[in-house]
Chain A
Amino acid sequence: MRNNNNLLANLDWPTVLIFLALTFMGWVSIYSAVFDEEYSSIFDLSQRYGKQMLWIVLAIVLAFIVMLTDAKFFSAFAFPIYFLILIVLVGVLLFGATIAGSKSWFQIGGFALQPSEFAKFGTALALAAYLGRLNADLSQLKTRLVAIGIIVLPALLILAQYDTGSAIVFTVFVLVMYREGMSGAIMIIALIAVVLFIATIYTQQVYVLIGLLVLFGVALLFIKRHIINIMKLIGLLLIAAAFVLSVDYVFHSVLEPHQTSRINVLLGLETDLKGAGYNVNQSKIAIGSGGFFGKGFLNGTQTKYNFVPEQSTDFIFCTVGEEYGFAGSLIVIGLYLTMLIRIITMAERQRSVFSRVYGYGVASILFFHFAINIGMTIGLVPVIGIPLPFFSYGGSSLWAFTIMLFVFLRLDAYRLNTL
């Protein structure tokens, strides 16, 4: 009993409260988004809001189970969990069901489970376990390669399911590796490469090359105009240009049209072409029409009359923007940032590297979802269909995020016992 009391006392309640607040607000927003007058009860299990309530209850049960599990279990079984998830990902490729173009679901009766949501959790565990080893040193190539391998393996499997959005999430582990000692330059170069790749496919290479030249010019103004610096810069420019040209060449000349098309679909380019940015435009209209205080609960016309597609899942933030306005949006963004910073602070107070790296992993994944999802709804980021943590409709993502978060809270509650 003493142990249990300690557990409750050591649990980081601010994070739990934010978690509860976000899930509750998400539930209410889903109610608004798919509100149907014929089924007006928020507990109606035939509607998404009723189901989400069920998912929330199950998520809380899962959180309890996690809290009751021995903290050492997670570091000890990090790799088994990771490999189990890899096997499941392969299984999905072989036996999975295709929903909305992604072969990333296990259909069990009327219920669909998405293993890729759990893969992020497994990868965070494995990465933490690996970097927690005494001989792991990210300044060394070998460590970096193994770490990257741990990250890339599930990402590739998810990519093979045509669930690009979820695969892209794994790039965020760069932040974790940066915190653990990887050179910042690698992070920046990786970022630049991703940006260049996407930019080249989204626009014409000419514009990307012009952009590079402009950046080069700007950089020239800021560096010491030493011959070696200039040569380095020119070298960088040439490598970047070669990268862009080869991406473009491969994309347009080597690949068959159907392959190109597939990549476009992966990047959400072709659906976007069809809708001509319809989703984002309607999403911006919904949020923009909210004004300062919003239109009020169930009064969002964009929301209520289904002008925004996917509103209960990927575009759930529209509901907040339209019905609760700038004030409501500010609160939601504030809650997320508070949670993220709280997790970082908590990660830093961990005594074990495993717990710290895992904490960073959790923070990074949550951050990436938060940034891409909200950025997409307000038109800052291309449409990449990934859910808003704790908020969007869907059992898999809610449970995966809940387990991920509570495993960290469990580790944090245990931190003083590791001495």
Chain B
Amino acid sequence: MKKNLYATRQNIIIFIFLAIGVLFVGKLFYLQIINTSYKLSSQNNVLRYMTQFPARGKMFDRNGKVLVYNESAYDLMVTPKLVKQMDTLEFCRLLKIDRQAFYARFKKASTHSRHRASIFLEQVSKEDYAYIAEKLYHFPGFYFQARTLRKYPSPIAAHILGDVGEVNQKNIDNDHYYKSGDYIGKSGMERHYEEAVRGKKGLKIVMVDVYNRAKGSFENGRYDTLPVAGKDLVLGLDAALQLYGEELMHGKTGSVVAIDPSSGEIIALVTSPGYDPNLLVGRVRSSNYNKLLEQPEKPLINRAISGTYPPGSTFKLVNALVALHTGAITPSTQFSCQGKSSSPIKCTHSHQSPLPLAPAIENSCNSYFWNTFRCILNNHRHRSLKDAYEEWQTLMFSFGFGKPFNTDIPFELPGNVPTRDYFDKVYQGSWNAMTVRSLAIGQGEILLTPLQMANEVAIIGNKGFYYPPHLIRKIGDGDSIDPSFTTKHYTGIDPQHFEVVKNAMRDVFEGAHGTARYNKIEGIDAGGKTGTVQNPHGEDHSLFIAFAPFDVPKIAISVVVENAGYGSQWAAPIATLMMEKYLTGDVKRKELEEKILNKNFNEEANAEQQ
């Protein structure tokens, strides 16, 4: 038996064991108790925050016809950090993109965040989705997220409905609801009713394994929220009438606005040339948008609300009302007319002379209205002409001229009512009825939008009041629309004076000399007024405003056809065809309809240039 020489060395060995043990416990204490970043890392590993996008609200016309609905599309998402070595070539082939595009997109996503998912390829169609999704497990780090795209069953009312696009940085800064890659209404109803239509995003937290495969919900979905679908919108629009209006206006530049005078609801709002709203959907949106922006006909401009025109003879009605209201004339006041030799404004219509108010409207006599306007300004109730002008000006604003209605129609222009101050400035203070005589016949500085013209005729049809023109009829399950839309507005004109003007408008159709006598609609009692607007840049603009049925109007309409000639020639047929269609559901004047549908000013103009 050997002596146990080195027994004390056991203590050193035990010490080494314990030292390692203490070292481990220390390190574990640091990892598990002190440093909290590992908890976060483990959550980042395993939790995926999936946004659940709600379906955007649909839009319907006044008869319940679908204007806009949703179609599923899928965004291909990528989390750069999770992407492993992969067959890029195969991947590109699958997605139908080239390698440069792949690297550019991947770099963009990586710059955004390496740990969080961002969109790699937007809006993959349903068909492609099914095919790609099957193979996607070969490519860790990529997954699909369902989205919805707007779809328009009938390519109408593009400007009204508006379009949806990706949010920009400004949108994100203004409203924290939005995250990069979200969609937002960019124009039209989509924009104005964005908050109602967008709904509420939901959040689903799923746990994934190391291959990024979903393994179930986090804590049984305790923190998940369901998306809330956007509210549906019902518009006052009549889809059939809108489509008919767009067809009638095809090949013409201008607009048609139809309002329901009893509510202010817009029944049709046509601008021409227009575009197919399906062009501004999805991945092609920005390229198509730029194409439309560059077209010389400017199809993106909504002429019905941002085109401003001198109202021409249609404006005589308003001047007549002001004159009656201010006592400048009575319905029986007569003025004489020398036809083409009238001064200072010649009259192009041949008719009896002298004549009272009603036939003057029927014949659209320029001399009569020059005299009327002169009488308004030289009213003895006022100390000066300028004071009288100021009253005229105030009454103009009471018709809704010179300012936007500010309802739910984005990009509306105010038009122009020249003010006393304006003329003082332009004419250095010395001006009189003679100086501003163009206003007598709706020329010169006065500018109205077609929407304002339609509202003007709605006012006359209603004999003195209007509801601000608006597009919406109902939000969701009957949320009340903006109360200001349903507030009755009276003009500054005493309602009693409307009778005579309104009746004179019937004579425009019915009278032997009525300027629209050839545009009578069988069986419909209507009132109207033509306008032929001189245009320094070319052919006159053809204007017409009308309402029907006569006693309780259901439709008030304004039509502008640019560079088309007489109001009675193009605008009046279009307006009456629209009214006929709306009120009877059918058009009997097939020959007239045919003539209008086939007329293409724009092609003719192009042909002339070539």
Contacts and interface: CB of A to CB of B under 8 A. Distances in A.
Interface of A: 134, 175, 178-181, 282, 284-292, 301-302, 304-307, 321-322, 325-326, 329-330, 333, 336-337, 340-341, 344-345, 347-348, 351, 353, 356, 360, 363, 367, 370-371, 374-375, 378-380
A288 B6 contact: no
A291 B39 contact: yes
Interface string B29-49: 101110101110111011000
Given A306-B210, A341-B14, A378-B24, A285 B42 contact: yes
Interface stretch (B15-23, B86-94, B462-470, B537-545): B15-23
B38 A288 contact: yes
Contacts of B208: 305
A375 B43 CA distance: 24
7 contacts: A289-B43, A292-B33, A326-B33, A336-B21, A341-B14, A344-B13, A345-B10
B2 A353 contact: yes
Contacts of A353: 2
Contacts of B21: 333, 336-337
B424 interface: no
B32 A321 contact: yes
A305 B216 CA distance: 11
Contact of B39 (A288, A337, A360): A288
Contacts of B35: 288
Contacts of A289: 38-39, 41-43
A337 B25 CA distance: 12
A291 B40 CA distance: 12
Instruction: Kindly name the residue among A284, A304, A305, A379 whose own CB sees the greatest number of chain B CB atoms within 10 A.
Output: A305
Contacts of B28: 287, 321, 326, 329-330, 333, 378
A300 to B, nearest CB: 9
List 3 tightest A-B contacts by C-beta distance, closest first.
A288-B38, A289-B42, A305-B209
Contacts of A374: 24
B45 A307 contact: yes
Nearest to A281: B41
B284 interface: no
B27 interface: yes
A378 B45 CA distance: 18
Interface of B: 1-2, 4-7, 9-10, 12-14, 16-18, 20-21, 23-25, 27-29, 31-33, 35, 37-39, 41-43, 45-46, 207-211, 215
Contacts of A134: 2
A341 B207 contact: no
B45 to A, nearest CB: 5
A304 B213 CA distance: 13
Most buried by A among B31, B33, B43, B209: B31
A380 B23 CA distance: 9
Contacts of B45: 282, 285, 301-302, 305, 307
Nearest to A352: B1
B9 to A, nearest CB: 5
B5 A181 contact: yes
Contacts of A348: 7, 10
B204 to A, nearest CB: 17
A367 B17 contact: yes
B38 A284 contact: yes
Given A285-B45, A306-B209, A344-B14, 9 more contacts: A288-B41, A289-B39, A289-B43, A291-B39, A302-B46, A326-B29, A341-B14, A351-B1, A374-B24
A402 B27 CA distance: 29
Nearest to A286: B42
Contacts of B211: 306
B156 to A, nearest CB: 51
B18 A337 contact: yes
Nearest to A138: B6
A375 B32 contact: no
Given A292-B32, A301-B207, A380-B23, A287 B38 contact: yes
B42 A301 contact: yes
Contacts of A371: 20
Contacts of A291: 32-33, 39
A91 to B, nearest CB: 35
Contacts of A344: 10, 13-14, 17
Nearest to A360: B13
Contact of A290 (B5, B32, B37): B32
A333 B2 CA distance: 35
A278 B43 CA distance: 16
A326 to B, nearest CB: 4
A374 B32 CA distance: 14
A302 B32 CA distance: 14
Contacts of A336: 21
Contacts of B23: 380
A307 B215 CA distance: 13
B95 to A, nearest CB: 28
Q: Which of B13, B20, B25, B42 has the most CB of A within 10 A?
A: B42
A180 B10 CA distance: 10
B534 to A, nearest CB: 78
A353 B35 CA distance: 47
Nearest to A291: B32
Contacts of B9: 178-179
A100 B227 CA distance: 48
Contacts of B39: 288-289, 291
Contacts of B2: 134, 353
Contacts of B43: 289
B37 to A, nearest CB: 8
A386 to B, nearest CB: 15
Contacts of A337: 17-18, 21
Given A178-B9, A289-B38, A348-B7, A307 B27 contact: no
A378 B5 CA distance: 38
B20 A175 contact: no
Nearest to B20: A371
B31 A378 contact: yes
Given A181-B6, A305-B46, A340-B17, A333 B209 contact: no
Contacts of A307: 42, 45-46, 209-210
A363 B9 CA distance: 14
A299 to B, nearest CB: 10
Contacts of A370: 20
A284 B31 contact: yes
Contacts of B32: 287-288, 290-292, 321, 325-326, 329
A125 B33 CA distance: 42
Contacts of A178: 9, 12-13
A36 B43 CA distance: 21
B83 to A, nearest CB: 14
Nearest to B208: A305
Nearest to A322: B42
B6 A179 contact: yes
Contact of A285 (B10, B18, B41, B209): B41
A301 B40 CA distance: 12
A189 B16 CA distance: 16
Contact of B31 (A288, A306, A330): A288
A356 B10 CA distance: 11
Nearest to B31: A288
A379 B23 CA distance: 12
B17 A341 contact: yes
Nearest to A345: B10
A134 B2 CA distance: 7
A311 to B, nearest CB: 10
Nearest to A289: B42
Contacts of B1: 351
B4 to A, nearest CB: 8
A76 to B, nearest CB: 18
A289 B38 CA distance: 5
Contacts of A379: 27
A179 B27 CA distance: 29
Contacts of B16: 175
Contacts of B18: 337, 341
Contacts of B6: 179-181
